[in-house]
């Protein structure tokens, strides 16, 4: 088999990724990274920050070793970042995009498997996790990180003292981690302020604007999906996050498949109404009263 140098390099890199998975697979959930830069919809400033994070991981050897910054630093050689925003605004997708760009394994940390009620066990679990990640150069994604990296409490009893010891250990260990650690939270205000100061990047994921929602609707369907003419401007009026838009699109696709027809506005409006009810959101009938191209009204 005759392979070019680049192809040999790709195969070797892929083999290394597979080789380093077993230890981490036992400690965290590995995410399949399919999202790319074309899939994510964020304001330009936040997108540029994501690209800066990827660049800092890619060129750390140049800056730290070739340009000598490692000799001037004794900590903070990794890239630690916080993704803050409500559920469904794209935090997990952004982590996937970076991992896909860098061709690194991405692991979501299961907090229930890490935090223990027994004294000292949480630190042991975290030590095993970070050590395994160091060996494989994986990206660590702490979802709902405020539960683990929350504000340290006033010491009233031994439980408070040991809880604060856990947070202090986390502050030290994540700062010493040489790879990329991403923390995601819906509650930015509950994060420990001492930890926030040590983060290299903090990216806020805003609720999508009208223009962003329209772009999300235009991107949510696979190219092979049979679609009738859709009113993307009307769909964008629905005040939803990207996560909800994705859910509505999938549910509508199943409705269309059941009816053996192309996906159309009635399918989307019907599943959108169900999503609003699921989220316990107020339903304004005007959002679900769609004017068809022949000027006939349609309410779902």
Alpha carbon distances (Å) from 35 to 26, 91, 95, 130, 299: 24, 12, 9, 25, 34
pLDDT grade, residue 19 (50/70/90)?
low
Mean pLDDT for 75-100 is 91
Q: Do domains 13-204 and 210-299 have the same CATH topology?
A: no
State percent of the chain over pLDDT 70. 77
The per-residue pLDDT for range 116-174, each reduced to its tens digit, is 666 567 778 888 888 888 877 789 998 877 766 665 444 454 444 445 556 677 777 87
Contact 255, 267 (CB under 8 A): yes
User: How many C-beta neighbours within 10 Å does residue 290 have?
Assistant: 18
Q: Tell me: pLDDT of 11 over 70.
A: no
What integer best gives the mean pLDDT of the chain? 82
Mean pLDDT for 1-17 is 58
3-state helix, strand, coil in the chain (%, to 5): 55, 10, 35
Q: How far apart are CA 46 and CA 48, in angstroms?
A: 5
User: How many C-beta neighbours within 10 Å does residue 177 have?
Assistant: 20
For the segment(s) 210-299, the CATH number from 1.10.150.120, 3.10.290.10, 3.40.50.300, 1.10.8.60 is 1.10.8.60
Range in 23-32, 90-99, 148-157, 208-217 with the lowest mean pLDDT: 148-157
Query: In the chain, what are the domain boundaries?
Result: 13-204, 210-299
The per-residue pLDDT for range 231-272, each reduced to its tens digit, is 999 999 999 999 999 999 999 999 999 999 999 999 999 999
CATH superfamily of 13-204: P-loop containing nucleotide triphosphate hydrolases (3.40.50.300)
pTM: 0.84
């Amino acid at each position: 088999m005759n392979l070019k140098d680049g192809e040999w390099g790709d195969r070797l890199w892929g083999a290394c990724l597979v080789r380093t998975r077993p230890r981490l697979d036992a400690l965290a959930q590995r995410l399949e990274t399919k999202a790319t830069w074309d899939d994510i919809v964020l304001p330009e400033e936040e997108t540029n920050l994501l690209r800066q994070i990827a660049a800092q991981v890619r060129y750390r050897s140049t800056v730290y070793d070739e340009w000598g910054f490692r000799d001037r630093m004794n900590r903070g050689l990794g890239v630690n970042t916080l993704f803050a925003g409500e559920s469904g605004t794209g935090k997990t997708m952004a982590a996937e995009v970076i991992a896909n760009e860098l061709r690194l394994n991405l692991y979501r940390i299961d907090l229930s498997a890490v935090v223990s009620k027994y004294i000292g066990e949480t630190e042991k679990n975290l030590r095993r996790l970070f050590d395994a990640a160091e060996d494989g150069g994986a990206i660590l994604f702490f979802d709902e990180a405020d539960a683990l990296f929350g504000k340290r409490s006033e010491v009233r009893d031994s439980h408070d003292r040991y809880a604060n010891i856990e947070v202090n250990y986390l502050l030290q260990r994540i700062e010493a981690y040489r790879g990329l650690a991403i923390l995601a939270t819906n509650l930015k205000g509950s994060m420990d302020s001492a930890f926030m100061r040590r983060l290299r990047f903090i990216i806020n994921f805003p609720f999508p604007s009208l223009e962003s929602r329209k772009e999300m609707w235009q991107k949510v369907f696979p190219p092979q999906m049979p679609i009738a003419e859709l009113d993307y401007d009307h769909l964008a009026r629905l005040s939803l996050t990207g996560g909800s838009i994705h859910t509505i699109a999938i549910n509508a696709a199943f409705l269309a498949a059941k009816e053996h027809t192309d996906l159309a506005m009635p399918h989307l409006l019907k599943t959108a109404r169900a999503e609003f009810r699921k989220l316990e959101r107020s339903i304004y009938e005007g959002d679900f009263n769609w004017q068809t191209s022949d000027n006939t009204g349609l309410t779902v």
